[in-house]
A and B are shown apart, each in its own frame.
Chain A
Amino acid sequence: MVFVKFLRWAASQLGVVQLDDPAQWLKRLFLFPSADELAAARLPEGQIPNPLDWLAEALGVTDKRHIRQWILRLFIIAPGQSPREEVSFWSVFFRKAAHVFGMLFSSIGMMVTAAMFVINWIWQGLLSLLPKVNHEAVGHHLESFLETAWFHKPVLFWILVISSTFFSWLLITTPFTWSGQLLFAIAIWGTAMFVRRIPGNLPTLILIALSVMASCRYGWWRVTQTVSVNSGRETFFAISLLAAELYTWIVLLLGYVQTAWPLKRHVLSLPLDRLLWPSVDVFIPTYNEPLSVVKPTVLAVKGMDWPSDKINIYILDDGRREEFRHFARQAGVGYIVRPDNHHAKAGNLNHALKQTYGEYVAIFDCDHLPTRSFLQATMGWFIKDKQCAMVQTPHHFFSPDPFERNLGTFRKVPSEGSLFYGVIQDGNDFWNASFFCGSCAVLRRGPLEEVGGIAVETVTEDAHTALKLHRKGYTTAYINIPQAAGLATESLSGHIGQRIRWARGMAQIFRIDNPFLGKGLSLFQRICYSNAMLHFFYGIPRLIFLTAPLSYLYFQDHIISASAVMIVLYVLPHILQANLANAHIQGAYRHSFWAEVYESALAWYITVPTVVAMFNPGAGKFNVTAKGGLIERTYFDWTISTPYILLIVLNFAGLCMGVMRLFFWNTFETGTVMLNLIWTSYSLLILGVAIGVATETRQVRASHRVSARLPVALQFQDGNSVMCTTEDYSMTGLGLLLKSAQDVAQGQPLWVSLWLDEVEFTFPARVIISHGNKLGIHFDNLNLEQESNLVQCTFARADAWTDWTDEHDADHPMRNLKEIALLGIKGYLSLWRLVGAKHKLRDSFRRYLSVLN
């Protein structure tokens, strides 16, 4: 506004008539206008803006000609000009505080950006000095070298093994001074940076070796040199941190074995003669899910491409609902109920096994819609490998899980499950240890009956069944191509409930049927299974990591008895190399630092169930995961987040004490204080994200929409038509994108055509919303056949989920860190807002103030 005023004033002074003509401005800057032009440009008297007037007004100068008044008003506010409204002290205080913090953050941000820019510039300069390397060629050399005959001589092999073991041992156990350790860190990091650009699977192994070396060196140093035993409390803290680190070290190493060489199995084609294809029973167990969830699944299963005389579909209804029986009859599928609900889903499946006779059994959770190609993609391996007892495909989710929804990361950051289905199962498959995940899988009936059906001893019947099959010497297969998709758990509490069940079940198996003991497994199968189970014991270690710095910040206990510099020099290569190796292995399926977020948010809840299951495997009951619900308004799950708020308060207090220590109390060990401050700040950020997850975001739609671009034709009542594409689809409607903006009357009926391959299907529908070139339509009372066609044209397309992971952003560690920091801050802000909305804290503040007055 002021700028415009200034411009007009300047224009009137210079004689510029056309304000938006740059040429005129330029001319007038050098050429003085004639009197006429000046008169034309001059505004009528009184309208000429004068910058001095505004200044005078702002300062409270009444007489502009009075120089003394100007000087006076520059320093003393005129009477009646100062803000005199009644503003509470606290609101001003908070506003100012927020302002100061905001300034602080943005200035820190700017400084960091500037520093990064300079560092990057120098770094690029240094890099350009290095000779150019053709990584592709290096990779080829490396591989051809391994192929050469002399390399395969046993003598050489053993010499290599013995010498590398010896040198590794030397490297791991030799104590270095700080300069030596620094050199080691730089050397190993530089090697990793070079190696990771080489294509192929071999560099993965080298990166793993480097990481193992760095981590073992760190571990050796930690165990032999840094355990302090001064006081009882300090020893306790030190030992617990050491134990937690030992746990992560074991899981890291076992994980490397598990994922070193993902198998990436292909689809095998079936015999051309369809008569040779085996018979399959499809089980769809359900307990309390609504029909609207189960119906699309049954329709999708019915559409699977398989000879109709060789497939039998059964709904296994533990809810024994008349509505379901009716639907089954209508849809022409089997309906099985049993007298009791013993052993929940496992019991339900076992009961159905006794009633049916197909050679193979395919199992789908009632909300997992298979694509039509599911059986053709999976059955080939059974025919090739007669020992194969199970083929599993990924569980793919087209709706966001609580993490993705509440943090807004859906389809940007890989979800919690994608690591398991993207890498771990593929890695397991290499060792013939991929396991059954309860749904989207096919099992051979013979072996399944041989192990007594689905296992009922534990609450994770799926993994336990696979373990039993492996013990009998059968093989399993995993095909990493999404051939089915379903709904993710709706709420955080549901999600946590599901993870608790998995954790408890895995702990139960670990206790009663430990994969390291017992007969029938290869060493690597034992490792894969054990890691799958050990993974779920992350609860206590994670809690220890979240609170470990507090022991110093509160009590000055030095739980790692080493100087801060040495700690950094040892721990940094350990973390860095592990991150580099893992980013190489799983970057597309788990972004760096996100493991911390996922595990921290769940750590508290799975701690108790796993511990209980370890000591008493029989305790606890099965809980069904609720799906297909709707969160109607944004709310904060207080009960769920109480432990996190507690942890935040503890860490925040630690942070405050740390600041005091930094400046006043412990000025003699600044490094140690800084280290603990950084650690606790990091914990606070991660906890902030956990809080953000607990803020349940409102869910707008009752049925989930899947974004996809499918061709659609609309036929209107007046005979006109238009071609367009979908933006998203669901069982109830479509979001459409027209090529040009069109006026479409809302509420008008129309026909929608979708195509399956080349066959057109039309559906009656109604326009719900029309805005520019976007159109929302709602289907109008589809009959069962139309619903079936709709499922076939949308969810059950063979390529429905194949390009899903391509949409994830790539893994950029530094960017992730920044993103997580922002999400953490956002979490705190949303907590603050919700607290404000509840008026709880604010009210208590007011009461406190009134007491003071």
Chain B
Amino acid sequence: MFKIAIISATGGAGRSSLTANLATLLAQRKIPVLALEFDPQNSLSTLLGNEMLCTDGLLPDFLAAQPFGKSALLDSDGVAYLPFGQSDTDSLEKFEQHLRTEPDWLMQSIAKVDFPSGAFLLMDTPRLPSVYAHQAMHAADLVLVVLAPDVRSLTLLPAIDAASKACSPARPFIYVMNGLDSTRTLQNKLFEDARLTLQSRLSPYSVHRDEAIPRAFANHANLYDDSPDSLAIHDLNGLLNWLSDASSLDGR
């Protein structure tokens, strides 16, 4: 079981869509995968092909003192996912309070779930700083930081460094640029800058801006079936291979 937390310091970097796409691609490769939405936004299910928001999820289960993972669903591509569930201000307040007092809550909850060996766990989080992201980082074997190809993402790199230092024991932080438009000189330059700063920690496969991704979401379709030859699929496959290498290097 390999646990990956997907975080970013900026909003709109594409954490959720990347989580959904990676999960679908893993399922495509017949690798068992659980996508865990640890984000009150509760929107991952729509990216995985569900037309409605889920009311059930890990928050309602927590409030009802049900076991963690009871509300997990399976989509048509074979991706298991656990939505956050419907929330309101009070319930969120209560849950976050609990998370603050018990920093290991997520880690312990995951440990109770019986995963098949070799499975992947992808944890979607709200943007930093956030109590959810911190729990996810704490629970993860590897943290995947999503960067947008803009200056803001790069200026916030120190914030992520700080977050990574706060994690103990230390776990690898690796970076991927999402939504890169390689036809723009500025974005290429920013990618090059990020590469110089992060060196081998930055995935050589950045996920390009590609119409195929929003189209697949809009049609509730599988990206791979929809546009198998697209650059996005090429990038995601490359990223996944690179992640697999990173995870095996980790001595799992």
B208 within 8 A of A: yes
**What chain B residues lie within 8 Å of A282 (beta carbons)?**
none
Asked whether A723 lies within 8 Å of B231 as measured between CB atoms, the reply is yes
B213-251 contacts to A, CB under 8 A, are 227-234
- Tell which of B182, B188, B231 touches A722, judged by Cβ atoms closer than 8 Å: B231
Which of A150-158, A255-263, A544-552, A713-721 forms part of the interface with chain B? A713-721
Interface size on A, residues (CB 8 A): 17
* Complex Cα–Cα for A753 and B231 (A): 10
B204 within 8 A of A: yes
**What chain A residues lie within 8 Å of B230 (beta carbons)?**
720-723
**What chain B residues lie within 8 Å of A719 (beta carbons)?**
209-211
Asked whether B211 lies within 8 Å of A762 as measured between CB atoms, the reply is no
Known A-B contacts A720-B212, A721-B210, A721-B212; A762 and B183 likewise in contact (beta carbons under 8 Å): yes
* Complex Cα–Cα for A720 and B209 (A): 9
* Complex Cα–Cα for A606 and B72 (A): 84
A839 within 8 A of B: no
A738 within 8 A of B: yes
* Complex Cα–Cα for A518 and B122 (A): 79
A725 to chain B, nearest CB (A): 11
**What chain B residues lie within 8 Å of A724 (beta carbons)?**
229
A572 to chain B, nearest CB (A): 59
A685-721: CB near B (< 8 Å → 1, else 0) gives 0000000000000000000000000000101001111
State the main secondary structure of chain B at its contact with A: loop
**What chain A residues lie within 8 Å of B183 (beta carbons)?**
715, 751, 762
Asked whether A722 lies within 8 Å of B209 as measured between CB atoms, the reply is no
Known A-B contacts A720-B212, A721-B210, A758-B204; A715 and B182 likewise in contact (beta carbons under 8 Å): yes
B49 to chain A, nearest CB (A): 21
A777 to chain B, nearest CB (A): 15
Asked whether B232 lies within 8 Å of A721 as measured between CB atoms, the reply is yes
Asked whether A718 lies within 8 Å of B211 as measured between CB atoms, the reply is yes
**What chain B residues lie within 8 Å of A34 (beta carbons)?**
none
**What chain B residues lie within 8 Å of A739 (beta carbons)?**
228-229
> Which A residue sits closest to B209, measured CB to CB?
A719
**What chain B residues lie within 8 Å of A738 (beta carbons)?**
229
Looking at A713, A724, A738, A739, which has the most chain B CB atoms within 10 Å of its CB?
A: A713
A658 to chain B, nearest CB (A): 64
Asked whether A753 lies within 8 Å of B182 as measured between CB atoms, the reply is yes
Asked whether A721 lies within 8 Å of B188 as measured between CB atoms, the reply is no
**What chain B residues lie within 8 Å of A721 (beta carbons)?**
208, 210-212, 230-232
* Complex Cα–Cα for A720 and B234 (A): 13
Asked whether B209 lies within 8 Å of A762 as measured between CB atoms, the reply is no
* Complex Cα–Cα for A125 and B36 (A): 71
A114 to chain B, nearest CB (A): 51
A632 to chain B, nearest CB (A): 37
A611 to chain B, nearest CB (A): 62
B45 to chain A, nearest CB (A): 26
B78-104: CB near A (< 8 Å → 1, else 0) gives 000000000000000000000000000
A596 within 8 A of B: no
**What chain B residues lie within 8 Å of A751 (beta carbons)?**
182-183
A767-810: CB near B (< 8 Å → 1, else 0) gives 00000000000000000000000000000000000000000000
Known A-B contacts A720-B212, A753-B182, A762-B183; A715 and B231 likewise in contact (beta carbons under 8 Å): yes
**What chain A residues lie within 8 Å of B233 (beta carbons)?**
723
Asked whether B188 lies within 8 Å of A713 as measured between CB atoms, the reply is no
B109-122: CB near A (< 8 Å → 1, else 0) gives 00000000000000
Interface size on B, residues (CB 8 A): 17
A305 within 8 A of B: no
**What chain A residues lie within 8 Å of B229 (beta carbons)?**
722-724, 738-740
**What chain A residues lie within 8 Å of B231 (beta carbons)?**
713, 715, 721-723, 753
- Tell which of B208, B211, B212, B227 touches A713, judged by Cβ atoms closer than 8 Å: B208
Known A-B contacts A718-B211, A740-B229; A723 and B182 likewise in contact (beta carbons under 8 Å): no
**What chain B residues lie within 8 Å of A762 (beta carbons)?**
182-183, 188
A760 within 8 A of B: yes
Looking at B210, B228, B229, which has the most chain A CB atoms within 10 Å of its CB?
A: B229
* Complex Cα–Cα for A718 and B229 (A): 16
> Which B residue sits closest to A723, measured CB to CB?
B234
**What chain B residues lie within 8 Å of A713 (beta carbons)?**
208, 231, 234
* Complex Cα–Cα for A726 and B230 (A): 16
* Complex Cα–Cα for A751 and B187 (A): 15
B170-225 contacts to A, CB under 8 A, are 182-183, 188, 204, 208-212
A781 to chain B, nearest CB (A): 15
* Complex Cα–Cα for A760 and B208 (A): 11
* Complex Cα–Cα for A722 and B230 (A): 4
A796-832: CB near B (< 8 Å → 1, else 0) gives 0000000000000000000000000000000000000
A49-88: CB near B (< 8 Å → 1, else 0) gives 0000000000000000000000000000000000000000
A740 to chain B, nearest CB (A): 7
Asked whether B210 lies within 8 Å of A720 as measured between CB atoms, the reply is yes
**What chain A residues lie within 8 Å of B208 (beta carbons)?**
713, 715, 721
Asked whether A760 lies within 8 Å of B182 as measured between CB atoms, the reply is yes
* Complex Cα–Cα for A361 and B233 (A): 47
**What chain B residues lie within 8 Å of A758 (beta carbons)?**
204
B102 to chain A, nearest CB (A): 42
* Complex Cα–Cα for A843 and B182 (A): 65
> Which A residue sits closest to B206, measured CB to CB?
A760
> Which A residue sits closest to B205, measured CB to CB?
A758
- Tell which of B182, B188, B211, B228 touches A720, judged by Cβ atoms closer than 8 Å: B211
* Complex Cα–Cα for A715 and B234 (A): 13
* Complex Cα–Cα for A722 and B233 (A): 9
A54 to chain B, nearest CB (A): 55
> Which B residue sits closest to A739, measured CB to CB?
B229
A712-753 contacts to B, CB under 8 A, are 713, 715, 718-724, 738-740, 751, 753
* Complex Cα–Cα for A693 and B180 (A): 52
B121-140 contacts to A, CB under 8 A, are none
A779 to chain B, nearest CB (A): 14
> Which B residue sits closest to A720, measured CB to CB?
B211
> Which B residue sits closest to A716, measured CB to CB?
B211
> Which B residue sits closest to A757, measured CB to CB?
B204
* Complex Cα–Cα for A718 and B212 (A): 10
A774 to chain B, nearest CB (A): 14
**What chain A residues lie within 8 Å of B227 (beta carbons)?**
720
A115 to chain B, nearest CB (A): 53
B189 to chain A, nearest CB (A): 12
* Complex Cα–Cα for A739 and B233 (A): 14
* Complex Cα–Cα for A575 and B85 (A): 88
B241 to chain A, nearest CB (A): 13
A266-290 contacts to B, CB under 8 A, are none
**What chain B residues lie within 8 Å of A760 (beta carbons)?**
182, 188
* Complex Cα–Cα for A751 and B188 (A): 14
* Complex Cα–Cα for A758 and B228 (A): 22
* Complex Cα–Cα for A720 and B208 (A): 11
* Complex Cα–Cα for A753 and B181 (A): 11
A544 to chain B, nearest CB (A): 62
B226 to chain A, nearest CB (A): 11
A228 to chain B, nearest CB (A): 76
B240 to chain A, nearest CB (A): 15
* Complex Cα–Cα for A722 and B188 (A): 19
> Which B residue sits closest to A751, measured CB to CB?
B183
A758 to chain B, nearest CB (A): 4
**What chain A residues lie within 8 Å of B212 (beta carbons)?**
720-721
**What chain B residues lie within 8 Å of A722 (beta carbons)?**
229-231
**What chain A residues lie within 8 Å of B209 (beta carbons)?**
719
* Complex Cα–Cα for A485 and B4 (A): 47
Which 8 pairs, one residue from A and one from B, show the smallest C-beta to C-beta distance? A719-B211, A721-B231, A758-B204, A751-B183, A723-B234, A713-B231, A720-B211, A739-B229
Q: Besides A718-B211, A721-B211, A721-B231, 4 other CB < 8 A contacts?
A: A715-B231, A721-B232, A724-B229, A740-B229
**8 pairs across A/B with beta carbons < 8 Å?**
A715-B231, A718-B211, A719-B210, A720-B227, A721-B208, A721-B210, A721-B230, A723-B233
Chain B residues engaging chain A, CB cutoff 8 angstroms:
182-183, 188, 204, 208-212, 227-234
